[in-house]
Amino acid sequence: MQSENILATFKILIIGESGVGKSSLMLRFTEDDFDKDQALTIGVDFKTKIVEIDQVKVKLAIWDTAGQERFRTLTPSYYRDAQGAILVYDVTKKETFQRLESWLNELEIYGTRNNMAKMIVGNKIDSPDRAISRDEGFRFAKKHRTLFIETSAKTSEGVKDAFEEVVRKIIETEGLWERNDYGDSLDLNSRGQSAGSCNC
C-alpha cells in the first residue's frame, strides 16, 4: 500500500485577504492547473496531496480559507493543529500586504502549535502592476522570522518551491509533528533551500 511509505500527514493552511490567489495556488500545486475565473472560496476548501521531498514521503492536508470578513467566524477551528501556514498577499495590491500583520495575529490566537512553520508568499508576480517590491516582502518576512517566496499561480513560478519549503521546515522542527505508525526510520538531515526562498 502507498500509505505504508508515508512518514506523516501535515496540515497546512493557506490564509490571506480575499482575491490574493489562495485557491489558485492550491489548485496549481495539487493539480497543476489554473482557472482565471476561479470563484471565491466560501468558508473553507480542502485538498490533499502526497509529495516526496528529499526521499521523504508525506501527505499534505491543505486548507484554503476564505478571506472575506463574513466568513471569519468559520475559520478558528480550522487553525487547530496546523503544522504549517502559507500567508498570501497580492504584489499588485498594497492593502493585502498591509493586512498580513492581522493574519499573523490570527495564527497566534487560534493556532495551537507555537512552532508552526510559516511562509509569506507574494503572489501574482506575472502582473506588470506591481505595488510591493520583492525587498519589501523579504524584509517583512525577516522581521517576523518566516520563510519567504514570490509566486505566480498563473505561470506556476515558485508555487512548488513554496509548499516544499514549508514541508521541509515542518520536518526539521522538533516536536511539531508525529511519525505515522508505519514506515522505517528515515534520515531527515541535510535539507536544501530553493533559490527563491529564505529561512529568515
- Confidence at residue 3, expressed as pLDDT on a 0 to 100 scale: 52
* Confidence at 54, pLDDT banded by 50, 70, 90: confident
Q: Distance between CA 142 and CA 38 in Å, rounded?
A: 31
Does 46 fall in a domain? yes
Pairing relationship of beta strands 84-90 and 56-65 according to DSSP bridges? unpaired
Q: Are 170 and 124 in contact (CB under 8 A)?
A: no
102-112 pLDDT, tens digit each: 999 988 888 88
Question: Is 123 a member of any domain?
Answer: yes
Is 200 inside any structural domain?
no
Report the number of distinct structural domains present in the chain.
Answer: 1
Average pLDDT, integer, range 173-184: 68
Asked, for residue 191, whether it belongs to a domain, the answer is no
The model's confidence at residue 77, banded by pLDDT at 50, 70 and 90, is confident
Domain-located, residue 189: no
- The pLDDT of residue 1 is 40
Higher-confidence position of 116 and 79:
116
| pLDDT band at 55; cut points 50, 70, 90 | confident
CATH of residue 100's domain is 3.40.50.300
Q: Is 81 contained in some domain?
A: yes
Q: What is the pLDDT of residue 79?
A: 85
Q: What is the mean pLDDT of residues 2-28?
A: 87
pLDDT at 188: 39
Residue 64 pLDDT exceeds 50: yes
On whether the CB atoms of residues 104 and 34 are closer than 8 A, the answer is: no
Q: Give the pLDDT score at 80.
A: 84
Does any domain span residue 56?
yes
1 belongs to a structural domain: no
CB 10 within 8 A of CB 61: yes
Using the predicted structure, report yes or no on whether residue 41 has a pLDDT greater than 80. Answer: no
| Max mean pLDDT range (62-71, 163-172, 180-189) | 163-172
Residues 6 or more apart whose CB falls under 8 angstroms from that of 86 comprise: 12, 13, 14, 15, 25, 118, 119, 121, 162, 163, 166
Q: According to the model, what pLDDT value does residue 37 have?
A: 63
Report, as an integer, the average pLDDT of 65-72.
Answer: 55
Show the domain range for 115.
8-172
Confidence check: pLDDT of 125 > 50: yes
Q: What is the pLDDT of residue 38?
A: 59
